[in-house]
Amino acid sequence: MEAYQIEAKSLLQQLDTNAKTGLTNEEVIKRQLADGKNELAEKKKKTLFRMFLEQFKDFLVIILLIAAGISVVTGILTNEGLLDGIIIFTVVILNAILGVTQEQKANNALAALKKMSSPHAKVLRNGKTCEIASPELVRGDIVFLEVGDFIPADVRLIESTNFQTDEAALTGESQPVEKYAKQTYEETKPLAERQNMTYMSTLVSSGKATGVVTDIGMQTEIGKIATMLDTVEEGKTPLQKTIDQFAKILGVICIAVSVVVFVLGIMDLEHNNIFEIFLTAIALAVAAIPEGLTAVITVVLALGMQRMVKRNAIIKNLSTVETLGQATVICSDKTGTLTQNKMTVQRVFDLECEYTVTGVGYDTAGSIIYNDAPASITNNLDIMMKICLLCNDSKLEGTEKVIGDPTEGALLILAAKAGFDHDTAKEKYPQLNEYSFDSDRKMMTSINIIDDQNYVLTKGACDQLIKRCAYISFKGVVREITNTDKKMILSQNEAFSQQAYRVLGYAYQTTCEPMSKDLENNLIFVGLTAMIDPPREEAAEAIKLCHQAGIRVMMITGDHLTTAKAIASDLGILKPGHLALSGEDTEKMTDEEYEEAIMNCDVFARSTPKDKIKIVNILQKHGEIVAMTGDGVNDSPALKQADIGVAMGITGTEVSKEASNMILTDDNFASIVSAVEEGRVIYSNIRKFTIYLVSCNIGEILIILIAMVFSSTFHYVIPLLAIHLLWINLMTDSFPAFALGMEKQEEGIMSQKPRGSKEQLLNKQTLIKIFIQGIGLAVAALASFLIGISISGASVTQARTMIFLTVVFGELIRTYSARSETKYLFQMKPFANKYINYAVMFSLLLVLLLVYIPPFANIFGLEALTLGELAIAAGLGFVPFLFAEATKLFHSIDKNK
């Protein structure tokens, strides 16, 4: 049996403790040695060195390291290739440092958000009450709880008075939960319905209680969730999978091409030296690898992270930036994520008219309106507002903060909207007596002096309050209440309840005996209020944008189904014909029925942490990329399981922040849409510069291969050396590629459906584009070499310089075409991306300095060209651009199909 199923007296005996004296110091030490401290086990943090090593796990980086290693070895043996290897090593190391820096920045931002959740506890030891650090608690400790306290451990209540706790962080329940020490259960109850228990890290919202600690640390309900987190494995992001796949294909191409070249060279040993053939094969391996790709991706993702910080989102790892753009489903918690986590009165009924209350949450600038005009305060409204103001134990600090029960806080704000001043109320209407709320009566009464009369002001559950009423105030006249009146009131109460409102009734009378203990009879009923935790205003628009972008939004909450359905309908989450389920509905389903239901479900209420993980697993099984938002401890396992876990920075628990990939610093659901948009832009830009870089590598491979196959035509000369290829890959291509990564979003990016989870970065259509552009580059480059060596009679060095410059010019000019995969250059503003303009000018300046400054030219085996030769090289540089523009025909053809 669990603690909630055992009588308090029996449980105290089992725990060997005393409710009047508590534990002795000796017993505490003994139990601490046996059970340990009352704290959650922290996951070991990654060291900087481990973070650095993890940057080398990508297959593409491994290929680069192998190529660099071979280049260094051959360089040491032959004095050729050493510089190539050093350059590659330098690029890889800088890339790793950048990755570590960004990850560490995210960790520091996360650390800045952390707060202490339960630093102290009031406990009975050796017969005396004392305050201790909560980690010092042991099983069997007697603890005292009051308003504002965080529960320091799992506690079985022994005594309670009007005790309520806020369990939103643990169960998702938006309303304070009433707790009763005397309640016991024989049957098994879900966590949210155990009214004699309180749980670690939940908050006392009203009343006071005494209890005994039943579980500490990792044995608490929060501890069990933390254990569940450790069993959830984080998978690779779609981008990581795509890059890994691409790198493996590239590795095979490298080996295959190098072997083919080596074989071709051996077949013609008359004109080739075997060692030179080996060096050429290595050069081809270097040509096949886009050395700048990993660095460009890292930098572009890092810049995306920085932009997202400005848009209120902290991204904890680089790949999450891009993964957001692929999200197909957002599973969102309700309380505090889609709603404001602020109870708000939205409807008032004074028995004649139903009024709408404007202003949201703690906004006291609103008013009570009727038929689109400010309501005149009727007698019933006046009495109701005074009951809200005076029959109330909460306090309002300014317009921002309610101290005490959220429901009572909502009533104070309602009275303020009607023009009543909370700060002067107690002086203006002195209180003479009070009947506190309790769960049996389900009502509360305050006796105050109003206009020199003693008023009995009562609020409570409508069905209970109406039994105490003998009269009704209707159209300014007080008369006896009839059965018809009661039916009308209860019908309105039911109508509000069906819309998921929390309903309270209001009644009053005057008395000459204010200190009497029997004043809650013969009351005059005056009206009802209906309140709810309202949706965030910006959430509805964000959800609309999600649907427009082809993203499904699913609400998963621990709250009641009626409330969840009402909020989901308001926000446009619950679509016609789709399901709204609760945990109870699915308990008896088979796995097949459950899976089918989830795929057609928009709302899942009364969920448990296991439900959330199961739902995420089912969605992922069907190929969905799942983003899970949440702020509670109960959300954490699912946050970790999801492809993108999104935690709330303000209301979120530390466990949820640790489990997530991304943290919203403004707790705004709408910020997710901004992040998705940013992710899509980044992926689009990654595609652009990947096509740009890889097509250059294909062109380089074709240049070497064609020159080897038709070696006599090319005078048995390798047109480009490994060091030339490295310069093109790193110094010419990388800067424009960075600039392409800064390209602004193209029109309609949020009107497109998310790309499929199996969609490859380089799909069949993209590969065709890459090969066409590679062919264009090879044709222009080889033509330049042949013109130089055959027609103009240039030396081999000059011919190599011509082909080198043609490739450089070709790449720089082609950058402008690469700005869009679909639009031709004349359909865009050609020079709108200033970063491309800077990159092209900078790369052009570098290459001209390289060619025309002799010491540099000698190192790279180049030679200054004549003006005519330079013009030929530059003119042929437009050929790759024309081929790139031609590939956009594929999109036009597909669009017209």
Using an 8 Å Cβ cutoff, are 466 and 505 in contact?
Answer: yes
Q: Is the dihedral of CA 409, 411, 412, 417 positive or negative?
A: positive
Other beta carbons less than 10 A from residue 358's beta carbon: 13
Residue 755, classed as helix, strand or coil, is: coil
Closest to 117 (Cα-Cα) out of 93, 146, 92, 151 = 151
Q: How far apart are CA 241 and CA 235, in angstroms?
A: 10
Pairing of strands 368-370, 373-374: antiparallel
Answer yes or no: 585 catalytic.
Answer: no
Of the candidates 22, 3, 38, the one whose C-alpha atom is nearest the C-alpha of residue 156 is 3
Residue 337: how many other CB atoms lie within 10 Å: 29
- Rounded CA separation 100/585 (Å): 47
Task: Quote the CA–CA distance of 586 and 247 in Å, as a whole number.
Answer: 44
**How many residues can be counted in the chain?**
897
Strand intervals (E) in 579-694: 579-582, 601-605, 626-630, 644-648, 662-664
Q: What is the residue whose two structure tokens read 């530059």?
A: 874
Query: What's the CA gap between 331 and 857, in Å, rounded?
Result: 59
- Which of 799, 804, 798, 834 lies closest to 816 in space, CA to CA? 834
Long-range contacts (CB closer than 8 Å, 24 or more residues apart) made by 759-765:
760/242, 760/245, 760/246, 761/239, 761/242, 761/243, 761/246, 761/686, 761/687, 761/690, 762/246, 762/690, 762/691, 762/694, 765/890, 765/894
User: Which residues, other chains included, contact 306 with Cβ-Cβ below 8 Å and sequence gap of 6+?
Assistant: none
Catalytic residue chosen out of the listed positions 58, 149, 154, 333: 333
Instruction: Please choose, from the candidates 800, 801, 788, 830, the residue with its C-alpha nearest in 3D space to the C-alpha of residue 813.
Output: 830
Report how far residue 158's alpha carbon sits from residue 340's, in angstroms, rounded to the nearest whole number: 34
Bridge pairing between strands 469-474 and 523-532: parallel
Structure tokens at 193: 């319905």
- Token pair 């030219």 is found at 857
Helix axes 669-709, 238-266, angle to 10 degrees: 0
List the end-to-end C-alpha distance of the chain, in Å, as a whole number. Answer: 67
> Please, are residues 818 and 739 in contact by the beta-carbon 8 Å criterion?
no
Distance CA 10, CA 342 (A): 39
With a CB cutoff of 8 Å and minimum separation 6, the contacts of 308 are: 314, 315, 321, 674, 675, 678
What does the CA dihedral 760, 765, 770, 773 come to, rounded to 10 degrees?
A: -160
User: If you search the block for the tokens 């022994």, which residue do you land on?
Assistant: 158
What residues are labeled active site? 333
